[in-house]
Every structure is written in C-alpha cells, then in structure tokens.
Structure 1
Amino acid sequence: ALRITCVPVQDERGQVREVLGITHDSTRRQRAENALRRSEAIHRAIAQNVPRGLIFVVDPQLRYLVAEGPLAEQLGLALTAVVGRAPAEVIQEPLRSHVEDCFRRALAGESSSFERPFGGRLLWTQYVPLRDDAGQVVAAMSLILDVTEQHENEQALRESEERYRRLAAELEQRVAERTAELQAANEELDGFAYAVSHDLRAPLRAMSGFSQALEEDYGERLDGEAKVFLEQISLASRRMGALIDGLLVLSRSTRGELQRDPVDLSALAARIREELTRGEPGREMVWEIEPGLTCRGDERMLEAVLRNLLGNAWKYTGATARPEIRFAQERRDGVLGWIVADNGAGFSMDHAVKLFQPFQRLHRQDEFAGIGIGLATVQRIVHRHGGQITATAAPGEGATFWFTVPEPPDSEGNADE
C-alpha cells in the first residue's frame, strides 16, 4: 500500500510556487500491524482457555497490548487498567526492573524462563519474541503458569522414590541378614545331621549288637519273659534306626539347590511301579499310569514325591480284594496338577490335619508299618517347588492325593497343556 503526502512549497512572499509530493510504502508496517493484531487475538484466546495461565504482550515501546488469563483472578490481580500502560506504571520494584529486562531481551530476539514464588504460589514464567511474517520481532510475550501443584506432586514423587529407595535398602539388608541366618541354620542342621547319622547311631548299634549277642550267647538260660523283653529291645532299636533314617530324609528333603529341568513324571511312575512289583512279584495290582506327563522341576526330589505317594498306595491296598493304583493329570479350579489315587484302606478326613505332620500316623503300627515321615517329606518338596498338595479319602474307599508343580517364571508354559 502507498501513502502520498502533498506539501506546498512557498516563496518569500508566501506564495505557493510548487507542490512537493512524498510517497510512503506502508506495506511492511501494515503487515506488521496485521500480524500483531492476529497475534494479540491468538494469545488472548489462549490466555482465556488456560485454567492456571496468564499472558502479557507488549509492543516495542513496552506498552501492554494484551493482559489476559484466569490466573489473574486467582492471584488477586486487576488487569483492567494494564493494557496501554508500561510495566513501570503498574509494577513495583524490584520486580519491575526484572520484568522490563526480560521483555527487552525478548524484543531483541532472546527467550528466557524462570520459576519464582508469588502470592503463596509457585509461578513459571517464559518470555518469548513475537515475529511477523518476515521474521521481524514486532512484540514480546510473557506466559505465566501456576505450577504449584505440579511442583508439589514432583516433590511428593521424589519423597516417595526416596522412601522406596530406603525401603529397598532396608529390605536388601534384611534379606542379607536372613540369608546369613539361614546359612547359619543350615550349618547347624548339617551338624545335627552329622550327629544323628554318626553319634546317635553308635550307641544304637551297640544296643542292638549287645542284645543280639545276649540272645546268641545266653539265649538258652533266659526264660520266656526275658526273651520277650530282649525281642522288644531289638524291635525298639530297629524302630529307632528307622526314625533316624526318616529324620535325615526329612531334613535333607529341602536342602541343596533346586533344579528346574524337564522331568518325565510318567517314566518315573513306571520305574517305581516296576520296583514295587519286583519286591512282591506274586501280588496282583491294576495299574493305570497316564503317559506323557511332564513338568519342570528337580527330578531327584520329584522322584521322592512319587516314590512316597505310590509306595503308600501300594502299602494301603495290601488288604484290598481288587487293588487299583492310578497316576494321572487333573485340573482343579483351572490349576493343572497330578493325582495318585488308590482304592485301599483310606482314612477319615476328621484326622486329615495330622496327615502331613512329621511322625504322625492315621493307622496303627500293627495294621500298616511306617514311621509317619513320608507325607511330611512330600509336602516340603512340593512347597519348595511353589506347589500345593491336598488329600481326599474315606475309610475303606481309598485315598487321592493331588499335587501341583508350577512352571518356573522363565518357562513359556506347561508342557502338558
């Protein structure tokens, strides 16, 4: 756009001798004014829609063009008389000098930002230059946001992280202490196992040996009652030896590093079946072993589990007319497990609480021999694998034991699924 200004040129007598025409190209200025008006409208709209915001826009002469934002009311600031005035007219020192300096830097093309408290709140302020279409700075803007809640949340988060770090350190220390205690307990258990297997067996062997020598050397001189007493001593020494063996088995059932290897449970069950059958070759038994049952666990420990459960099933079906033993997979409440079931003597569920306790038996010794250590060992091994074991039974109707061996966390699913 062009603007033409005509100026008369007069002589000494005041007569107009000529007219001087001056042409001004106002395109750039008009573009700048248009850009500034658009910028003012945009930033005014932004300010009105920022819940905790406040926007100021100044021209190159540091006169406020825009002063808008909901934050003003929250801080108790009156903005009605700000537009058209300079910071020196509306702001007190020492804040005034700081605001003017930041605006001048923005008008020179430099952005800046900072945080400072004001009116009990924490405010974040950014000063930026506003440019026209040609890239020339035509105004400067300051955006003010209330970041009090964000700061408080960040502080709470830092405090929470620090608290968790302390808890993690305390937990790590506690784990280290418990590990040391467990190691010490294991060492004590090793000492106890050594004492049981060596120190206690020595007097037991002496008692058994001397009673046997007494019977062999002086048996003809002993009357009937004395021989009964001697036989009781021999039986007691053998039972004491069996209890020592069971105690050692129980103490070692959860010792050592737990391996997590593929285990063919069906093959283990078949091998145990063959061993039991060879021990009593004339005994009839209907076996049902589901093929292809596998899991991931410690093969040595899981063999002990099946040996105890299948051995019990074999023992408690000794008086059954048509004995049956079954090993199969069974899912309960969505959990995959395995069952060992028989149709033998069974037991009353009223006494099931004692079932997995060491040296507790649900049958008399004269009915079924044993020391009551097998199921306690089974439960410890299953628990060590992170599984569970339950039992259901009825007198004369057999018993069913269901146990699980969960897949380790690094496994991609159960091989049986």
Structure 2
Amino acid sequence: MASTQRSLSNCRLMMAIRMMKDTGTLRPMLKAKRQRRQKKTQDDIRFRGLLESAPDAIVIFNGEGDIELINAQTEKLFGYKREELLGRKVEMLLPGRFRKAHSRHRKKYVSNPHVQPIGFSLELAGRRKDGSEFPIEISLSLMETADGVFVTSIIRDVTERKHAEETLRLQSVIVRKMAEGVCLVSDRDARIVYANPKFESMFGYEAGELIGKPVHILNYPTPANSSETVAAEIIDVLKKKGEASFEIHNVKKDGTPFWSRANISRFEHPQFGTVWVAVHEDITERKRIEEQIRILNEELEQRVQRRTAQLEAANKELEAFSYSVSHDLSAPLRSIDGFSQILLEDYCDQLDDQGKDYLQRVRAATQRMAQLINDMLNLSRVTRAEMRRESVDLSTLARIVAAELQQTAPERRVEFVIAESITAIGDARLLRVVLENLLGNAWKFTSKHPGARIEFGALHPNGASDGHSIYFVRDDGAGFDMAFADKMFGVFQRLHDASEFEGTGIGLASVQHIINRHGGRVWAEGEVERGATFYFTL
C-alpha cells in the first residue's frame, strides 16, 4: 500500500515538472532560488567580515544564554579558542561572583529588552581563561529571528580608561591637598575651569566662585597696562613656549594686591580639553624682604661711597704726613747725627770719656729714631700699596732673601733649608716683604747660637692645593714664651729687650697687614731657647 502511494507521488512530481517545462516556468524559479542562495552567501560573508574586523569582542548567544557565535577579538581578549566557547553559557566569561546576578539580568533582558542593559549600572569584570580579571563595559542588542531570540553583546576592555580615571582621581586629590594654589584655565576662552581650595583661599574667593570667571580678574593692572592686557601678554608667552615661570602681581577679591610665583604649563585634560595648569606660590613676604634688601643695599652703597671718599681723603692726608715724616723729621735727625759725628771726630781731644759716651748715645738714639721712622713709613706703604695678584715662586724669593742675609755676616754658620717649588698666588713685592721679615727675624734671633738652622717650607693638609697650603719659617734660636704669643704682631710690640736684639717692633705688624690683605692669617709657636715657627696662609 505504501509503495503504491510513493509511486503515485513520484508520478505527480514528474507530471508537475513536465508541465513547468512545457509552460517555461521552471527555469526562472531555479534562477531565483540560485540568486537567493548567492545573496545569502554574500550577506554571510559581509557579516562575517564585519564581525571579525570589529575592534571589540562580540559574543552572540541565544535566549538560553548559550554562545552561538564569537569573533577573533573575543578569543584574543579572553584567551579561549573559538571551539572552547561555542555552546557554553555566556556566564563563563564572568568571574564566579557575578554569574548568578548576570543570569538573572540576562533573563529579564530577554523577556523585556527595554530593561536597562547589563553593565549600565552594574560594575562588571571579565574573566580570562587563565583566571585573571579585567574591567569591562557591555552593550546589548536583541534580535528576534525565525530560529528564535538572539542577543548580541559587544564587550569592551576598559582597563586603560579605568587606570586613567583612577590616575585623574588621585591627581585631583593631590591637587586639592597641595600647599600651593592650583588652577586650570581653558585655552579656548581663558576662563577658569578649576581651582583648588588653596588657590581660592589665596585669592580670597569662596569655593567654586572662580569657576567660569575670566583669568584676567586675578591680575593687578599696571600703570601702563590693564589687567586684560597683562593676562594676554602672559598667555602669548605661554603659547610660544608651551610652559614658563612668572612672578605675577595679583589682586585678591577685596582688592588687596600680592605677589605670586607661577609655574604654568599646557595640559590635555580629559574633561576640560586643552588647559593651562598654573601652580601659584605666594611670594609676597619674599618680595617685601627683597625690597627691604634693595633699599638697604642702596643705603649701604651710598655709605660705602661716602666712606670711600673719606678713606681717599684720609689716604691723601696720610701721604702728606708720610712725606712730612720722611722729610721734615728725618732731616733734623740727620743733622743731629751728623753734627754728633763731627764733634766726635773733630773735637775728640777736647771731650772727656763721659762726653764722648753722651755723643755716642745721641747718635745711637737718632739712628734708632731714623730706623723707626723708616719702618713706620714702610708699614704705611704696605697698608696702602695696590696689590697685583700673580703666581709667585716663594722658594726662589726665600733663597734670594737668605743669600742677602748671609752677605751681611758671612762669618756666621747658618744652614738654610728651603723647600723646592713652593708657589702661591699673591703680590710678589708684598710677599717678599713677608719673607724678608720672617727670615730676617730667624736670622736675628739665632745670632747668639754658634750654629743655626733656618727652614722654609709648606704643609698641605688633606692634600690641599697650594691655594690652601700652610707656609712656615722655622728656626732653632731664642724662641719665645707662648704666653705672650698674642702680642707679637702688634705695632711696637717686642718680646726681647732692644739691648739683646735690635729692632723696632714693626716688622711682624707689617707681616700681619700683608697676610690679611691676601685673605690669610698668620700665627706663631715657640719655646724659650728652643726656636720658633711662624705659619701663614694666603
């Protein structure tokens, strides 16, 4: 029976096909069907191309939540292969703590697509195959087809955006708590779009009161320019350089002027666009102190000028006095000494021994007075002489002075020990005076010893260069008591009687003046009858 029915059906099909051929309708039908099949294939290829080229992950799942289709970006984002996801529940792409809630939201969305989509008000995270999580943003759309309901979910990794938002939040917290005043000024219209509490307090405004205000209201006008012009000039410099620092004369809300140091730079803000970030530090007190210092410096300069004029006048008077001493006082002394010598030579037979002794004493006193006058004049010249700094070979100077001393008493047995290649920066003429006095003293105070040793050298503490060296002159002569060391460099100060060692007490004072002019210091160490050492720096 069944076989008979199939035969009848086949006969009817064959008769229908024969009728279509006879009437010419079969060929168009076949062509239309072929075109529909080609169009469907092209649509599928186009859809696949769009799906695979999308920058975000796309997951299509059915009404039961089973994954039907994914793109390559989904594989890359979640670390799964395509075959590992197809047919699985879409919740496998979420951390376990979100899956139940997500399943409920999904079912509500499928039953009522107008419900807020998943992720709109719910913080979601994606879960990769390796278990790591990352923040995501999901957009949903529902499709109703003959094969059922399908949901297309577009999933975007918002890790970088979240990081940027967190960075911006932290920066905002930092800016609010900064000790400096910070404001943001829009590059578009030069209006303030943000000001931290310190900035508002610095300028005397309430919270939020500055927002939207033109920045020029903060600038103090000058006699030549309005506040608008001052602000425009600052912005013009910034647009040329991109960033700059200014000392700006500002004005508070109540009209009080003050100064601030502003470091300003360009910044691309995610909310406000291109802005100028200005960090202000109130420097009003510093400017006030600087102004006081400027006034004091001007007063000091005027005082220095007056003092210089007084010193120049005093130097001229001293020069006149020196000339008077050298001429008016020396001439009578020479006369006294000369006539005393004539009396001793021409009237010797008319004088008894006491008279001769008196004349000898007169001559000795006049000669000592002449030497004292010469030493005073030398000290005056040392104090006033112009300095010429240059490299000076102290070793060579010391050998020259030693040779001159030996010529004065060639019979003496004195060993000079002079270190090689000792140099210094200073005035060669004045430094020779120093060595003449120090070596001359060593020569003088060793004169009562049958044999003597005089040494010149330098110490270099901590490997210092010559500019920081300590120079010394050492002898093994009469020495001195250290209790009187602080008196040695005073004018006319002597630690030995003139009858024991000649001198006027001015030589060491001259040494101290010269060393002071070189910015150094001089001191001495000694012991009675065991010698002395004089040190100096330059």
User: Which TM-score bucket, shorter chain as reference?
Assistant: 0.5 to 0.7
Find 1:298's aligned residue among 403, 427, 436. Answer: 427
Classify 1:393/1:76 alpha carbon distance in 2 versus 1 (closer, same or farther; 3 Å). Answer: closer
Distance 2:451 2:185 in 1: 97
8 Å Cα contact 2:194-2:211 kept in structure 1: no
Matched with 2:491 is 358
Q: CA deviation at 1:48?
A: 6.2
Give the secondary structure class of the aligned counterpart of 1:254: helix
Q: CA deviation at 1:364?
A: 1.5
Q: CA deviation at 1:324?
A: 0.4
Matched with 1:240 is 369
CA deviations on 1:254-288 (whole Å, 9 max, x unpaired) are 22210111111001111111112222222211221
Classify 1:78/1:323 alpha carbon distance in 2 versus 1 (closer, same or farther; 3 Å). Answer: closer
Q: CA deviation at 1:307?
A: 0.9
Find 2:297's aligned residue among 168, 191, 201. Answer: 168
Matched with 1:254 is 383
Q: CA deviation at 1:225?
A: 1.8
Matched with 1:287 is 416
Matched with 1:228 is 357
Matched with 2:474 is 341
Q: CA deviation at 1:311?
A: 1.1
The amino acid that maps onto 2:367 is: R
Q: CA deviation at 1:115?
A: 7.3
Q: CA deviation at 1:72?
A: 12
Classify 1:162/1:322 alpha carbon distance in 2 versus 1 (closer, same or farther; 3 Å). Answer: same
The answer to whether the aligner puts 1:393 opposite 2:526 as a matched pair is yes
The amino acid that maps onto 1:285 is: V
Matched with 1:32 is none
Matched with 1:211 is 340
Give the secondary structure class of the aligned counterpart of 1:212: helix
8 Å Cα contact 2:472-2:536 kept in structure 1: yes
The amino acid that maps onto 2:502 is: A
8 Å Cα contact 1:345-1:397 kept in structure 2: yes
Distance 2:251 2:276 in 1: 13
The amino acid that maps onto 1:338 is: Y
Q: Equivalences for 1:85-100 in 2 at 5 Å?
A: none
8 Å Cα contact 1:253-1:377 kept in structure 2: yes
Q: Equivalences for 1:36-47 in 2 at 5 Å?
A: none
Listed as ranges, the gaps of 5+ residues in structure 1 are 1-37, 58-65, 80-90, 103-110, 125-130, 406-417
8 Å Cα contact 2:379-2:506 kept in structure 1: yes
Distance 1:365 1:72 in 2: 79
Structure showing the higher helix proportion among its residues: 2
Classify 1:400/1:154 alpha carbon distance in 2 versus 1 (closer, same or farther; 3 Å). Answer: same
8 Å Cα contact 1:48-1:70 kept in structure 2: no
The amino acid that maps onto 2:498 is: Q
Distance 1:205 1:386 in 2: 39
In the alignment of these two chains, the number of paired residues is: 320
Classify 1:169/1:224 alpha carbon distance in 2 versus 1 (closer, same or farther; 3 Å). Answer: same
Give me the identity figure in percent: 40
Larger Rg belongs to: 2
Give the secondary structure class of the aligned counterpart of 2:496: coil
Matched with 1:329 is 458
Matched with 1:13 is none
Distance 1:54 1:338 in 2: 62
Distance 1:235 1:56 in 2: 92
8 Å Cα contact 1:391-1:402 kept in structure 2: yes
Matched with 2:113 is none
Segments of 4+ moved more than 6 angstroms = 52-57, 66-69, 71-79, 95-99, 111-116, 119-124, 138-147
Give the secondary structure class of the aligned counterpart of 2:413: coil
Classify 1:50/1:180 alpha carbon distance in 2 versus 1 (closer, same or farther; 3 Å). Answer: same
Distance 1:242 1:56 in 2: 82
Distance 1:200 1:397 in 2: 40
Distance 1:98 1:77 in 2: 13
Matched with 2:327 is 198
Matched with 1:310 is 439
Classify 1:161/1:395 alpha carbon distance in 2 versus 1 (closer, same or farther; 3 Å). Answer: same
Matched with 2:13 is none
TM-score, with structure 2 as normaliser: 0.51
The answer to whether the aligner puts 1:268 opposite 2:401 as a matched pair is no
Distance 1:219 1:349 in 2: 47
8 Å Cα contact 1:47-1:54 kept in structure 2: no
Distance 1:71 1:263 in 2: 61
Give the secondary structure class of the aligned counterpart of 1:253: helix
Matched with 2:75 is none
8 Å Cα contact 2:512-2:522 kept in structure 1: yes
Q: CA deviation at 1:69?
A: 7.1
Distance 1:353 1:50 in 2: 63
CA deviations on 1:308-352 (whole Å, 9 max, x unpaired) are 111111111112243101111113586411110000111111122
Q: CA deviation at 1:217?
A: 3.6
The amino acid that maps onto 1:312 is: N
RMSD between aligned alpha carbons? 4.3
Q: CA deviation at 1:56?
A: 12
Distance 2:499 2:278 in 1: 88
Q: Equivalences for 1:85-124 in 2 at 5 Å?
A: 117-118=252-253
CA deviations on 1:185-228 (whole Å, 9 max, x unpaired) are 11111011101110001211222222223333433222222222
8 Å Cα contact 1:262-1:296 kept in structure 2: yes
Find 1:186's aligned residue among 308, 312, 315. Answer: 315
Give the secondary structure class of the aligned counterpart of 1:370: coil
Give the secondary structure class of the aligned counterpart of 1:285: strand
8 Å Cα contact 2:340-2:362 kept in structure 1: yes
CA deviations on 1:134-185 (whole Å, 9 max, x unpaired) are xxxx9999999997xx4xx333233222212112211211221121121111
